[in-house]
A and B are shown apart, each in its own frame.
Chain A
């Protein structure tokens, strides 16, 4: 496979790190968070006596601009070439201080961050002396580590300016359109022969009342007429390889041809599946007048004017049951084929059921409608008005207790639903009805192969999982891969579209500049030491990250380990098996760890 160029972005400006080390140590008070427990003066004083330490200071807030100015000044005026900062968690301010080093002209990685807040002052409040001692040894270990630190340069990979969108439902289409609007190319890979996904159905959609099919058609017209979007229909993905900026997707077309699609980023918009009730669940499969919601929507559309007729019977009353296959409870509901129950709420079924009940009432006002729920979750903007309208339409609602399930019984041609009703003072109610509609929820689509190829994380619900629901809602842990719409979990159309736009913008921002920065903490091989034993590639879990190559080293051809910096995650599994210590994770070498342990153990 032809590879995109990977190159390093030079950070080093000042070459003085090659000279005799001059370490500066800064101990931060964190405004009392640290100094109330740790004797910061003593820490600074102890460290000033440590070898190779040229300057040792303590200050109230190192992250403040005055604090940062100290660092810059010491580097520029006092010849400091390595820095240790003892402060809060690196998650908070590591980048801040790297920036200060960079501004002063020093390689930003010649810096060690020691956490003496979360790891010392906050956890040893009652032992001030012990805390101070611990802080001193941790900072000393930091000095030992930074003394053995090499300057590092961040890695950049060249990116293909195309986004591959897998799945052509509303989410996939919206994502592709947004990508195109941002000036990039998009490719939609759809397994069926049309765009639109679940919206290729009859009936209308809340909250606009448009026909589902016309929502799908409007978007698909736009997609098909865009010269920046290419759609592959009837296409099955057989493999995905590569890394951020440079993915390759192997696709098998219906005509048996194979195709390779290159993309800098991937958006997964494979959607959801309807929950399928098992035989006998609320009578489903035992009686043809027990339907799922999607089946009912079809049936309602098909029936002509006058009387509601289904399967040769006039339907005078219809009962809707909520939460079928959703919000299941361990020990009460039967687990699915995977042995699991669906604990989540499918979110769209409440409003969708009620919208359908209203449509039924509009078309056949004389049909009696019953609705058995446990909570009405018409949560979205204006969704409540559907609920209100249903009440006004004389739909009679019953609220079952959370842990009770209604039963559907057949008595000749009659269908009887029995349920406890919270609204009627917990009495047992009996509803005679001609038809039962099951409000089936959403389940994850079967995309086992894609999950396998891309090592995608799934939540306990089985949907794809984002990194953080609020902070990084459309990214997965894998670099360059985004999720859009119901592949991530139950959403309605509006929410799917919003998520898709977000994913598209994230992907476009990633690829916009043409290359992608990556952290430099990846494995590096000392080719002199490498014996070519081939132990390390076997330990690596990221395919393509670590391979063996034939190479000329010091005039001799030999087999050495080779790291693809874009695929390496810097986990260090390889370093653990290398006897001659020829492979190390940059910034986290075994020599550094040895020295740190020694410094701590000395006390």
Chain B
């Protein structure tokens, strides 16, 4: 294997500034509750990065097995923050799996992402406000375009990930139809179950994460299936959408609050280091939750024809547009897909005995 010193410098652009301090003692791997014999991290990943084994890293599923309990960073005798390194690897991998190169550009230039998000939001908002037609109709079209766009993005990621981890090695398309594998993949995807693998399970984090996740997924469902028509209908307490919207908004706001607070206090390993894109991510989530809820409550109070409802709804959709276009495909948000996907591929590798 040829040693390549450039690689670690590249990874460090995604965080993990302290990782050179690692002297490969392996304490991190020893304490990591999620590391397994045939899927060993973080030390192995750190080593590959140190010697520049780019191929090995890109074909690894290990980064997605890490849930950032932070126990490794607490234990590291060299203060190399291996947990943060794993996080940075995920950012790195997302940018590598992204064929457009935009993820990388955004990580390197977080200001550009901020400007773009704000820009798209403002342009959309101005356009929506000046729109003379039936906005509810337009919103329906926009919201129905989201799933197509996101599916396309996800497909691109999934394919690159599949190619780097499986196809490049096996040279042929392999799939697993094993029921238990599919079940495990789904359960992981829905519950982020491995959090509880962290030996001192950080329940606050898990609950916050689950709240945000479920709230957000619900929001996605509500908007992508275009379940809300606040400019047409007058919603009341007994409508089926009411508990859905309230739950979704509450989940995002409450969970997001906890996450932001912890990032701010930096007490917990997983919250010590924040990439600027992490902030944008959480802030945007927040805004989606708030704007959806505001629109809904205004509608309940004033009915679908009130000017306030229309404005609130337009803001809500504008935020969603910026979010879907920029944040969803090009930040670590996408890791909610990678994690279960990694579990599936890991089991597939095992099943087909791919080293």
Instruction: Give chain A nearest CB distance to B161 CB in angstroms.
Output: 23
A429 adjacent to B23 (CB under 8 Å): no
A396 adjacent to B21 (CB under 8 Å): no
B21 adjacent to A424 (CB under 8 Å): no
Closest partner residue, chain A, to B5 (CB atom): A368
Per-residue interface assignment for chain B, residues 23 to 45, with 1 indicating a CB less than 8 Å from any chain A CB and 0 otherwise: 11000000000000000000010
B20 adjacent to A430 (CB under 8 Å): no
Asked whether B3 is an interface residue with its Cβ less than 8 Å from the other chain, the reply is yes
A396 adjacent to B23 (CB under 8 Å): no
If the complex has contacts A396-B50, A424-B47, A424-B51, are A430 and B22 also in contact, measured as CB distance less than 8 A?
Answer: no
B20 adjacent to A424 (CB under 8 Å): no
A424 adjacent to B23 (CB under 8 Å): no
In A416-474, which residues have CB < 8 Å from any B CB? 421, 423-425, 427-432
How many angstroms from the CA of A424 to the CA of B2 in the assembled complex?
12
How many angstroms from the CA of A399 to the CA of B48 in the assembled complex?
14
How many angstroms from the CA of A370 to the CA of B44 in the assembled complex?
19
How many angstroms from the CA of A425 to the CA of B1 in the assembled complex?
12
Asked whether B53 is an interface residue with its Cβ less than 8 Å from the other chain, the reply is yes
B20 adjacent to A429 (CB under 8 Å): no
Asked whether A259 is an interface residue with its Cβ less than 8 Å from the other chain, the reply is no
Asked whether B78 is an interface residue with its Cβ less than 8 Å from the other chain, the reply is yes
B3 adjacent to A423 (CB under 8 Å): no
Asked whether A394 is an interface residue with its Cβ less than 8 Å from the other chain, the reply is yes
Asked whether A302 is an interface residue with its Cβ less than 8 Å from the other chain, the reply is no
B78 adjacent to A396 (CB under 8 Å): no
For B44, list chain A residues within 8 Å (CB): 425
Indicate which residue in B1, B2, B3, B53 contacts A396 across the interface (CB closer than 8 Å).
Answer: B3
A432 adjacent to B3 (CB under 8 Å): yes
Asked whether A239 is an interface residue with its Cβ less than 8 Å from the other chain, the reply is no
If the complex has contacts A391-B78, A396-B5, are A429 and B51 also in contact, measured as CB distance less than 8 A?
Answer: yes
Closest partner residue, chain A, to B43 (CB atom): A423
For B50, list chain A residues within 8 Å (CB): 396
The interface size bin for chain B is: 10 to 19
A423 adjacent to B2 (CB under 8 Å): no
How many angstroms from the CA of A180 to the CA of B2 in the assembled complex?
59
How many angstroms from the CA of A161 to the CA of B241 in the assembled complex?
105
Secondary structure dominating the interface of A? strand
If the complex has contacts A388-B21, A391-B22, A392-B21, are A429 and B1 also in contact, measured as CB distance less than 8 A?
Answer: yes
If the complex has contacts A396-B51, A424-B53, A425-B44, are A387 and B1 also in contact, measured as CB distance less than 8 A?
Answer: no
For B48, list chain A residues within 8 Å (CB): 424
For B20, list chain A residues within 8 Å (CB): 391-394
Per-residue interface assignment for chain B, residues 1 to 22, with 1 indicating a CB less than 8 Å from any chain A CB and 0 otherwise: 1110100100000000000111
If the complex has contacts A424-B51, A425-B44, are A430 and B3 also in contact, measured as CB distance less than 8 A?
Answer: yes
Per-residue interface assignment for chain B, residues 74 to 105, with 1 indicating a CB less than 8 Å from any chain A CB and 0 otherwise: 00001000000000000000000000000000
How many angstroms from the CA of A391 to the CA of B23 in the assembled complex?
7
In A74-116, which residues have CB < 8 Å from any B CB? none
For A391, list chain B residues within 8 Å (CB): 20-23, 78
A397 adjacent to B51 (CB under 8 Å): no
How many angstroms from the CA of A393 to the CA of B21 in the assembled complex?
8
Per-residue interface assignment for chain A, residues 8 to 22, with 1 indicating a CB less than 8 Å from any chain B CB and 0 otherwise: 000000000000000
How many angstroms from the CA of A445 to the CA of B216 in the assembled complex?
76
B21 adjacent to A423 (CB under 8 Å): no
How many angstroms from the CA of A555 to the CA of B22 in the assembled complex?
89
For A430, list chain B residues within 8 Å (CB): 1-3
Indicate which residue in A370, A394, A399 contacts B3 across the interface (CB closer than 8 Å).
Answer: A370
How many angstroms from the CA of A468 to the CA of B48 in the assembled complex?
48
How many angstroms from the CA of A431 to the CA of B50 in the assembled complex?
13
Per-residue interface assignment for chain A, residues 575 to 590, with 1 indicating a CB less than 8 Å from any chain B CB and 0 otherwise: 0000000000000000
Instruction: Give chain B nearest CB distance to A416 CB in angstroms.
Output: 9
Closest partner residue, chain B, to A391 (CB atom): B21
A428 adjacent to B1 (CB under 8 Å): yes
How many angstroms from the CA of A7 to the CA of B71 in the assembled complex?
75
In B123-142, which residues have CB < 8 Å from any A CB? none
A424 adjacent to B1 (CB under 8 Å): yes
For B51, list chain A residues within 8 Å (CB): 396, 421, 424, 429
A388 adjacent to B53 (CB under 8 Å): no
If the complex has contacts A396-B50, A424-B48, are A432 and B2 also in contact, measured as CB distance less than 8 A?
Answer: yes
Scoring A393, A399, A421 by chain B CB atoms within 10 A of each residue's CB, the highest score goes to A421
For B78, list chain A residues within 8 Å (CB): 388, 391
Per-residue interface assignment for chain A, residues 148 to 166, with 1 indicating a CB less than 8 Å from any chain B CB and 0 otherwise: 0000000000000000000
Closest partner residue, chain B, to A421 (CB atom): B51
Closest partner residue, chain A, to B4 (CB atom): A432
Indicate which residue in A368, A387, A428, A431 contacts B23 across the interface (CB closer than 8 Å).
Answer: A387
Beyond A391-B21, A421-B51, A432-B3, list 17 extra A-B contacts (CB 8 Å): A370-B3, A387-B23, A388-B78, A391-B78, A392-B20, A393-B20, A394-B8, A397-B24, A399-B24, A424-B51, A424-B53, A425-B44, A425-B47, A428-B1, A429-B2, A430-B1, A430-B3
Q: What are 23 A-to-B residue pairs whose CB atoms are below 8 Å?
A: A368-B5, A370-B3, A388-B23, A388-B78, A391-B20, A391-B22, A391-B23, A391-B78, A392-B20, A393-B20, A396-B3, A396-B51, A397-B23, A397-B24, A424-B48, A424-B53, A425-B44, A427-B1, A429-B51, A430-B1, A430-B3, A432-B2, A432-B3
Task: Please report B residues at the A interface, Cβ cutoff 8 Å.
Answer: 1-3, 5, 8, 20-24, 44, 47-48, 50-51, 53, 78
Nearest first, the 10 closest Cβ-Cβ pairs linking A and B are A423-B24, A431-B3, A394-B20, A391-B21, A430-B2, A368-B5, A392-B21, A427-B1, A424-B47, A423-B47
